Amino acid sequence: MTDSLADTPSAPSAKRKRGPSLGDVALHAGVSTQTVSRVANGLTNVEESTKQRVLASMQVLGYRPNRAARALRSGQFRNIGVVMFTLSSYGNMRTLDAIAVSAATAGYSITVVPVERPTQQDVSVALGRLLEQAVDGIIVVIEAHIVDRSDVELPPGLSVVVVDSTERSDYPQVDTDQAEGARQATQHLLELGHRTVWHISGPADSYSAARREASWRRTLEEAGAPVPEVFPGDWSTAAGYRHGQEIASRPEITAVFAGNDQMALGVLRALHEAGRRVPEDVSVVGFDDMAESDSFWPPLTTIHQQFEAIGRRALELLIAEIEGRPEPVRSSVMDTRLVVRASTAPPPDAAGAAARVE
């Protein structure tokens, strides 16, 4: 045999090729090692053209910053934890996407720990797992009444921002103006001439659902309209369909405000199957403005939420806390907007009366 063991890559004496160093990148980009270090650490005091040249050299050479060494030098891991319940929901996924994109732009990575059930135990376990991942701060996206509980302790000494899940004032918060959105939905239907508006709510432990239901009720009361019983839902299309079957069997119901677009979709299906026309017989309004809402049949009137803005703002507040420059405004509320499409119209009796007058 002419080949020896020493010549094979697996031989003990085989030398591992050294990865590119900070100096290699500096030489390739024609800058100082300090400049490369500033770019690697996500600092902003580098001209954009120089930064792009350094990043290009890193890519060509295959340079990877040593996160552990960088953390020892700076005291930061450049890693943000996200605790989130219901990754499958439209709003949460849009919010998470915005957090991830904004974090990457700011030079941070994210670690997501999903919570299977919105319980004290599951949330506490998720927070513990994130602390093991060496994060600089945490964004909590759990709409249930969990963070307010005394037996759920958020990590002391760690920057935390809460999205849509608390009435605590000791942490920065970001939320949609749930009450205003529900008011807009209910008022829209009343202004069309409907005697009252029926509501399919979200889960009982949801802050969003509670705020929307309370605002729906208040809007009816202020208008002197009857306040009907609430159909309790859970954000799912199945819940909307189930309640939609009952709604379809009750001719006195001419207007429905569903707590989210998914439940509204279930209502539309149930009404269609029962032969009740939308909006001629029943008007339906949702909440969220999912990307597919304008493709429902008929296209859904709904309340637009700024999920991307919520994610960006939460990340912005957290980084400000991490970097020791907290903002004076610790609570941000994002506006909502009524989007009128083809699923709402005056009630059948009003339409008939208008025709008779003509």
Helix (H, G, I), strand (E, B) or coil at 253: coil
**Closest among 102, 6, 113, 24 to 65, alpha carbons compared:** 24
pLDDT band of residue 66 (cuts 50, 70, 90) is low
Question: How far is residue 351's CA from residue 41's CA, in Å, rounded to a whole number?
Answer: 65
Whether the CA torsion 246, 248, 254, 258 is positive or negative: it is: positive
- Tokens representing 48? 């954009």
Question: How far is residue 222's CA from residue 100's CA, in Å, rounded to a whole number?
Answer: 42
Question: How far is residue 136's CA from residue 321's CA, in Å, rounded to a whole number?
Answer: 10
Please give the backbone phi and psi of residue 256, each rounded to the nearest 5 degrees, phi first.
Answer: -130, 130
Residues 308 and 163: beta-carbon distance below 8 Å = no
Amino acid making up residue 76 = Q
Residue-by-residue DSSP string for 286-318: -SB--TTGGGSSSPPBEEE--HHHHHHHHHHHH
Mean pLDDT for 83-99 is: 86
User: Residue 4: is its pLDDT beyond 60?
Assistant: no
- Tokens representing 212? 């929307």
- How far is residue 182 from each of residues 25, 210, 241, measured CA to CA in Å? 55, 11, 21
Residue 169 is predicted with a pLDDT of: 66
Q: What number of other Cβ atoms are within 10 A of residue 58's Cβ? A: 21
Q: What number of other Cβ atoms are within 10 A of residue 303's Cβ? A: 27
Q: What is the 3-state secondary structure (H, E, C) of 313-331?
A: HHHHHHHHHHCCCCCCCCE
Judged by average pLDDT, the poorest of 1-5, 247-251, 275-279 is 1-5
User: Residue 263: is its pLDDT beyond 80?
Assistant: yes
Peptide bond before residue 251 is cis, with ω within 30 degrees of 0: no
- Tokens representing 135? 């994060």
> Radius of gyration over alpha carbons of the chain, in Å?
27
pLDDT band of residue 152 (cuts 50, 70, 90) is low
**Closest among 183, 259, 184, 189 to 216, alpha carbons compared:** 183
Expressed in angstroms, the distance from the first to the final Cα of the chain is: 104
Residues 25 and 54: beta-carbon distance below 8 Å = yes
- Tokens representing 222? 């202020």
The strand pairing partners of 256, in sequence order, are 198, 284
Residues 123 and 154: beta-carbon distance below 8 Å = no
Residue-by-residue DSSP string for 177-199: -HHHHHHHHHHHHHHTT-S--EE
Statement: the pTM of the whole predicted model exceeds 0.95 = no
Q: What is the mean pLDDT of the chain?
A: 85
Question: How far is residue 115's CA from residue 83's CA, in Å, rounded to a whole number?
Answer: 7
Mean pLDDT for 176-202 is: 97
Who wins on pLDDT, 116 or 150?
A: 116
Mean pLDDT for 72-78 is: 62
User: Residue 70: is its pLDDT beyond 70?
Assistant: no
pLDDT band of residue 65 (cuts 50, 70, 90) is low
Per-residue model confidence as pLDDT tens digits over 28-44: 999 998 888 788 766 66
Mean pLDDT for 91-102 is: 93
pLDDT band of residue 232 (cuts 50, 70, 90) is very high
Residue 16 is predicted with a pLDDT of: 43
Judged by average pLDDT, the poorest of 29-43, 84-98, 156-170, 174-188 is 156-170
User: Residue 207: is its pLDDT beyond 90?
Assistant: no
